[in-house]
């Protein structure tokens, strides 16, 4: 379920209707020179002002008119339409657009404003990413805090470090230096310009979409590199380190098998198979923005630390004696 | 390029901008009880009146505002989004919706009417089919009339006979009894209720999409039956009976190879591989409508007749002596 708050910096508001927990995310600005990749020039600020003053309030009115949007069926449909919802959101953005357009029209918004809003969403195939991320977080937060659980409930990177959280180890982050990405660069940039892996978006992989569901999105290799066969292989490999196949998110090309979901840190350590992540690439210098997209792996050190920490918790509990 | 005329029975107007030829098609009514499948009850007629009086004029105004829509890039994108554009048009319909929505908004159409129109398109994932068909015909008509050519430029069925036309044999149809389809039936119907293969929609296969591009649309098997692997096999097999791969329409899961396009009647006869067609299934009795969807093959007799006829033309020309 999604709502939007405003003004100034509007955010999507996602509610896990089963568990009641809520998550939030800013609205997607598009590619290239955008604040979330460190760009901060006048055009970035101008767009953000428009998003705060026009886009946010318009979406808020539209959603008040339409009521909350059920995201799980929308995301399931998008997986059947070639999206993996991390770096390919063309279908999900279109499906969201189809729900928002009639609502915008019925919400009594000035024609010119509504048309501007539709053009903006229309022109940004990544618009749904900032809905997919908090939707994944809303699912994963519900799995946090299970004693003894080795399930990974968050993976995140800040351009310097890569960190994960396990369900059984609370709010502690297990970190190590973030990797670089292997991928495709926008015209004029090379890997020399790239920062280390950065951003919260690996929450999609943590939930079983993104890199984990690349078999559903063969066309994504035109954006992140690699081949359709590798995309297929990534999804199959992820089945070895996950706890289950998510039957709500099926992958047609794999006979509608469920997306490999719920990374088990123990299985990562046991098999040596590292979680695949496809992601955008930021320029190493602040102010420039996104310069490409590619593929990387979550580093092993996070998982070994996490599994050791969980074992230490178990031993500490054991030596404290039965409750 | 698309336009729409009205009132009473509005039609899409497609122009081949290279050759200048034009084609036409009614607007898609949806699934189930619809006129194009023989249903003619009050709700069918009421919908048609609304389409003639409201939908058609609204689209005409929107297209006057937006200008003609370039269909080839839209169709190419839809192939990357899991459509094959015969029985799966979810992505193409969404992409068309995204172009039409802002244009409807800017065309000065009453808010209530515009919202009704958006709801209608939104609720019909087959809306683009009636654009895809004339787009395919516009491409194929440009290939008609090439002396000696064994390229198939039309395949059509009328519920009784199946017919094809070759480029080199003019307007003559080569016909044989139409086959039945093997497929999935809507609740309450079985293959006993089915008519023989019917409709103009095999023009999509003739142009290399539809059944020929099912590898791009693994999710379609939930609608027409079969497995994703069979869908892949169909596309690969069609490569043996076609003249080329259409580089404008690429299939991501096959390493972005072009859709197998331009059926060569001689190759069909030589290999014994029959063109695959996925299609809707009509009830055998008039007035009921569509009762399912499935897969069939174009019958061999059409191709043998056509190849023989072309050879007879060649001999007649030879015996008439050099020009």
Q: What is the pTM of this model?
A: 0.94
Q: Which member of A95, A114, A253 has the closest CB to residue B218?
A: A253
109-128 in chain A: CB under 8 A from chain B: 111, 114-115, 118-119, 122
Q: CB distance B98–A122 less than 8 Å?
A: yes
> SS in 3 state form for A20-77?
CCEEEEECCCCCCCCHHHCECCHHHHHHHHHHHHHHHHHHHHHHHHHCCCCHHHHHHH
Q: Which member of B115, B219, B252 has the closest CB to residue A218?
A: B252
Q: CB distance A90–B97 less than 8 Å?
A: no
Q: Token digits for A97?
A: 């657009």
- pLDDT tier, A23 (very low <50, low <70, confident <90, very high otherwise): very high
* Residue numbers in B near A77 (CB within 8 A): 90
| A219 at interface of B, judged by CB pairs closer than 8 A | yes
| B228 at interface of A, judged by CB pairs closer than 8 A | yes
Q: Say which residue, B210 or A9, is predicted with more confidence.
A: B210
Q: Token digits for A163?
A: 């960190």
- pLDDT tier, A6 (very low <50, low <70, confident <90, very high otherwise): very low
Average pLDDT (A65-72) is 96
10-39 in chain A: CB under 8 A from chain B: none
On the 0-12 / 13-18 / 19+ scale of CB atoms within 10 A, A230 is middle
Closest CA to A128 of A98, A90, A84: A90
Residues A67-75: contacts with CB within 8 Å, 24+ apart?
A68/A1, A68/A2, A68/A3, A68/A15, A69/A1, A69/A2, A69/A96, A69/A99, A70/A1, A71/A1, A71/A2, A71/A14, A71/A131, A71/A135, A72/A135, A72/A248, A74/A99, A75/A132, A75/A135, A75/A209, A75/A249
Residue whose entry in the numeric block shows the structure tokens 């809707």: B280
Q: CB distance B115–A106 less than 8 Å?
A: yes
Q: Render each residue's pLDDT in chain B as its tens digit; 323 residues.
A: 455 554 479 999 999 999 999 999 999 999 888 888 888 899 999 999 999 999 999 999 999 999 999 999 999 999 999 999 999 999 999 999 999 999 999 998 988 899 999 999 999 999 999 999 999 999 999 999 999 999 999 999 999 999 999 999 999 999 999 999 999 999 999 999 999 999 999 999 999 999 999 999 999 999 999 999 999 999 999 999 999 999 999 999 999 999 999 999 999 999 999 999 999 999 999 888 899 999 999 999 999 999 999 999 999 999 987 65
Q: CB distance A252–B95 less than 8 Å?
A: no
| A226 at interface of B, judged by CB pairs closer than 8 A | no
**Interface test mutation site (partner B, options A62, A84, A102, A226, max chain B beta carbons within 10 A):** A102
Average pLDDT (A141-164) is 97
**Interface test mutation site (partner B, options A62, A78, A82, A117, max chain B beta carbons within 10 A):** A82
Distances (CA, A) of B247 to A101, A155, A277, B199, B261: 33, 40, 30, 28, 10
* Residue numbers in B near A80 (CB within 8 A): 82, 90, 219
* Percentage of chain A modeled with pLDDT above 70: 97
pLDDT tens track for A88-122: 999 999 999 999 999 999 998 988 899 999 999 99
* Residue numbers in B near A256 (CB within 8 A): 222, 228
Q: Which member of A102, A252, A254 has the closest CB to residue B118?
A: A102
- Smallest CA–CA distance, residue B228 to chain A, in Å, is 6
């Amino acid at each position: 379920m999604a709502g939007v708050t405003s003004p100034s910096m509007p955010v999507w508001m996602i509610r896990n209707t089963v568990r009641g927990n809520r998550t939030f995310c800013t609205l997607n600005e598009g590619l290239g020179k955008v604040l979330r990749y460190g760009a901060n020039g006048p055009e970035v600020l101008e767009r953000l002002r428009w998003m705060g003053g026009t886009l946010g309030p318009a979406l808020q009115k539209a959603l008040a008119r339409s009521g909350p949007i059920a995201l799980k069926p929308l995301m399931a449909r998008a997986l059947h339409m070639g999206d993996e919802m991390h770096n390919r959101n063309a279908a999900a953005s279109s499906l969201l657009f189809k729900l928002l357009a009639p609502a915008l029209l019925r919400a009594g918004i000035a024609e010119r404003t509504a048309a501007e809003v539709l053009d903006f969403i229309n022109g940004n195939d990544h618009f749904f990413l900032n809905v997919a991320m908090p939707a994944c977080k809303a699912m994963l937060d519900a799995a946090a805090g299970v004693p003894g659980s080795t399930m990974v409930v968050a993976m995140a990177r800040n351009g310097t470090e890569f960190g994960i959280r396990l369900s059984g180890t609370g709010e502690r982050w297990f970190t190590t230096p973030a990797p670089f990405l292997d991928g495709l660069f926008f015209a004029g940039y090379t890997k020399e310009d790239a920062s280390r892996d950065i951003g919260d978006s690996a929450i999609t992989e943590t939930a079983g979409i993104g890199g984990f569901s690349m078999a559903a999105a063969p066309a994504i290799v035109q954006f992140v590199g690699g081949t359709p066969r590798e995309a297929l292989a990534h999804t199959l490999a992820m089945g070895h380190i996950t706890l289950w196949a998510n039957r709500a998110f099926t992958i047609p090309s794999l006979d509608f098998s469920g997306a490999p979901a719920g990374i088990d840190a123990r299985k990562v350590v046991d098999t040596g198979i590292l979680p695949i992540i496809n992601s955008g690439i930021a320029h190493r210098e602040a102010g420039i923005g996104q310069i490409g997209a590619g593929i990387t792996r979550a580093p092993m050190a996070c998982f070994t630390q996490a599994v050791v920490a969980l074992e230490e918790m178990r031993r500490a509990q054991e030596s404290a004696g039965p409750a």
